[in-house]
Structure 1
Amino acid sequence: MNGIGPKIALVTGASSGIGEAVAQRLAEAGYEVYGTSRRGAKPGKRSFEMLPLDVTSDESVEAAVSEVMRRDGRIDLLVNNAGFGVAPAGAEESSIEQARSIFETNFFGLIRMTRAVVPHMRRQGSGRIVNIGSVLGFLPMPYGALYAATKHAVEGYSESLDHELRTRGIRVSVIEPAYMRTSFDANFMEADAKLDEYREARTGMNKRLGEVMATAEQPSVVADTVLKAASATHPKLRYAAGKLANRLRLLRRFAPQGLVDAGIRKDLRLDVPAASQPNRTARAF
């Protein structure tokens, strides 16, 4: 707590999935939480308030942050979670406009939120920023290059920002989950420049994605990790969220690059024709 009342948290993309789980967990821990959603929240009882917010709009971001400041006079925690992905497709199957669109939300939206909140945290002399990244911020994702690129960008931005702000009482952390059992894939944007050459690869990757999502961990794993990062006296820059994410982080750190590449290709069956791919349950490589 900040000595005046409960800490104030602002969580983007909180209408469902990871964002909703994070907002709920923070509220249970005693934070006063404002969740946000561009599309509006589904009806239901929540322990936190929802505000309208489109992270791709400067005006919308400023309005939401100003509203929180008007009500409470401070923001102690910003969780940047809003984002979307493109359905499995070759990198050349998305137009430049589509590439700009995913970066506009997943990366520039995070920057907008950060730029709007940091001045208030600087004046307070304290604050935490927790960015929801991904294991795809340190691993490649064949047929998911644009999404992986946004998460790589989040990693670099967050690490640089943490160095800039830590002497001002503000710390930045990145949470790195692997697959989580949410409706994230239901909101995938379809590639807008599909090519026949990638039809079999898309079929195989969609099949594989369905398998891994069926065995994925719950978003509460990420929520618990966010709370850990937000409340740590000496927060780390990166937190892997979940068993698979921790295994992948260790693999990336200690295994030879050739072994990592081979594991990715084997797990995603990139060298097996889609028509002959066995119907197996998901496993970690």
Structure 2
Amino acid sequence: MKQNILVTGASSGFGLLIANKLHQNGYNVIGTSRNPEKYGATVPFKMIALDLDSEQSISSFSERLFKEIPKLDILINNAGFLVAGIAEEIPIELGRQQLETNFWGTIKVTNAILPHFRKQKSGKIITVSSIIGLVSFPNTAYYAASKHALEGYFKSLRYELNEFNISVAMIEPAAFKTNVINNSIATINRIPDYDSLRNKIQKFSDELLSKAEDPKLVVEKVIKVVLTDQPKFRNIVGKGTSVMINLQHFAYGILEKNVLKQLNK
């Protein structure tokens, strides 16, 4: 029998690539989007409506989901967005929205699925986080905060779900060629004192993105976790990520100097 997999945010970016690959591999995939009618005819899998910013949408989507399928085997949390900008320049309301969508929205969706996983005594929760959830970089303060929060939350949750045979895993990609930057929200508030730093950050980001890898590596990592009965919690993927994490844990000062060196070029 085909496994049923839910992929949130499946209309673009990693979510679309992951959902398409899982469908090609023979899984029954259900994707979510705020506007499923816009994408339903262009994807080979079922799409249902889900808005992470709407309490009503989240509370009703579970009921709609289980009208489509009798059982869910895997939840892949992917939906979210990026707020880019100097931390002081970002309005608090926009920062709050970043946390509301990326963190609270993901938690609410997970909580909507957990009763079904507990009842069936099985399930797997895979959350697409980011290397920025482990190592922060300039211009991503609220995005980093949302991803750090997810890392901490699911790190605790995995212990609580162990007795129900529900596994929890995180995917932490580095920089990859997706549309996340193009779809990001950038603040229009500009504080002149940051102009020099802003230009250096832009140069640093352009260089980083020019060397970004093919996102199929992230898809392959997700597939590997899907196929693993007891996946490890942390699954980093991307060039230099292992070194980056080791530097953070054992020599954070060196990592900090390397980032500042790049910004001061």
Q: Normalised by the shorter chain, which TM-score bucket? A: over 0.9
8 Å CA contact retained: 2:95, 2:142: yes
* Preserved CA contact (<8 Å) 1:134 1:151: yes
In structure 1, what is the equivalent of residue 227 of structure 2? 231
* Displacement after TM superposition at 1:120 (Å): 0.6
Residues in 1 aligned to 2:154 and 2:180: alpha-carbon distance in whole angstroms: 23
Show the counterpart of 1:66: 63
Match of 1:36 among 25, 32, 35: 32
Counterpart of 1:134 (choices 130, 135, 146) is 130
Pick aligned residue for 2:43 from 42, 46, 50: 46
Q: 1:78 pairs with 75, 87, 111, which one?
A: 75
Match of 2:181 in 1: 185
Cα deviation, residue 118, structure 1: 0.5
Alignment of 1:173 onto 2:169? yes
What are structure 2's unaligned runs of at least 5 residues? Answer: none
**What RMSD, in angstroms, separates the aligned Cα atoms of the two structures?**
1.7
The residue identity in structure 1 corresponding to 2:109 is M
Structure 1 residue 193: deviation in Å? 3.5
Runs of 4+ in 1 over 3 A off after TM superposition: 39-45
Identity %: 37
Aligned mate of 2:207, from 208, 211, 233: 211
Q: What's the counterpart of residue 261 of structure 1?
A: 256
**Secondary structure class of the residue paired with 1:184:** coil
For residues 107 and 216 of structure 1, the distance between their equivalents in structure 2, rounded to whole angstroms, comes to: 25
Residue 14 in 1 paired to residue 10 in 2? Answer: yes
Structure-1 separation of matches of 2:123 and 2:140: 33
Rounded Cα–Cα distance in structure 1 between residues aligned with 2:43 and 2:240: 30
Give the structure-2-normalised TM-score: 0.93
Quote how far apart the aligned CAs of 1:173 are: 0.6
- The runs of 5 or more residues in structure 1 that have no matched partner are 278-285
CA distance in 1, matches of 2:203, 2:179: 16
Task: Give how far 1:202 is off.
Answer: 2.0
Q: Distance in 2 between matches of 1:11 and 1:65?
A: 13
Contact 1:68 1:74 in 2 (8 A): no
CA distance in 2, matches of 1:139, 1:207: 20
